[in-house]
Structure 1
Amino acid sequence: MSGLAVLFLIFDAVGKVLSAPQFVEGTLQLGYPASVVVGLGVLQLVFLAVYLIPRTSVLGAVLWTGYLGGAIATHVRVESPLFTHVLSPVYFAAFLWVGLWLRNERLRSILPFREAQ
């Protein structure tokens, strides 16, 4: 599950770091200046690195949750469609957390799927 989200997030980060026209245009449509695109891409790559390192993966998931929360707020502000734009960061956050939960025994002990008997 993490892999799917990570692949998309790598694609998004690299597109921003390279200032691909589609990524710059998308950022402009959301009301941000083109000057922030590369910085956002670098930030995403840092968050991905933190998420992919087993010792810091929970911190990475927390950082991504904050970043994706900002994406939700941005889409709400520009009145984007609910299921395809506003909620897509929720989908990615869920994939990141569920994938992390499946591979991290300590996280499963802290956040059990069901109550201990």
Structure 2
Amino acid sequence: MTTTRTAAPGKIAQRIGLVLQVLVIAFLLFDAISHILNLQVVKDASVELGLRDEMAPITGIVMLVVLVLYAVPATSILGAIVLTGYLGGAVLTNWRVEKPLLSTVFFAIYVGIAAWGALYLRDERVRNIIPLRRT
């Protein structure tokens, strides 16, 4: 089995990846904290989605654990994998109650693409796992 090495990204790509990763973490950290605090807006959204509002703090704690995994370079790929599963649940939950497709249902997909895109730009291991090739 041969290992295909991909070219290292330039400094600009690495900086874009870092900025993208920080934005993903900041957004999800804000979301996690609002769930942990069980703010009224979170309670209202939970009811609208058919979830019990007492689930919100646990969901926020789970997201914090996932964010730590994603933010630490040694575990960032594991964090991205777990984050992908979490975001998949968000897609299904929003789709089930017929939220707008492009703005709400797919928003979690956009976050997932940003999370993986950030890692792709910064981490050779990800580029080796997901080689994008010109044909």
Whether 1:30 aligns to 2:58 is no
User: Mean Cα displacement is larger for which, 2-11 or 58-67?
Assistant: 2-11
Please list, as runs of the form range in 1=range in 2, the aligned pairs for 1:1-117 lying within 5 A after superposition.
1-114=20-133
Structure 1 gaps of 5+ residues are none
Cα RMSD between the aligned structures? 1.3
Q: Deviations over 1:12-58 (max 9, x none)?
A: 00000111111111111100001100000000000000111111100
User: Mean Cα displacement is larger for which, 83-92 or 105-114?
Assistant: 105-114
Instruction: Give the AA of the match of 2:61.
Output: V
Q: Which runs of 4+ in 1 moved over 4 A?
A: none
Tell me the percent identity: 39
Q: TM-score, normalising length from structure 1? A: 0.94
Instruction: Identify which of structures 1 and 2 has the higher relative contact order when contacts are C-alpha pairs closer than 8 Å and 6+ apart.
Output: 2
Structure 2: how far apart are the matches of 1:25 and 1:3? 28
Q: TM-score, normalising length from structure 2? A: 0.82
Residues paired across the two proteins, number: 116
Structure 2 gaps of 5+ residues are 1-19
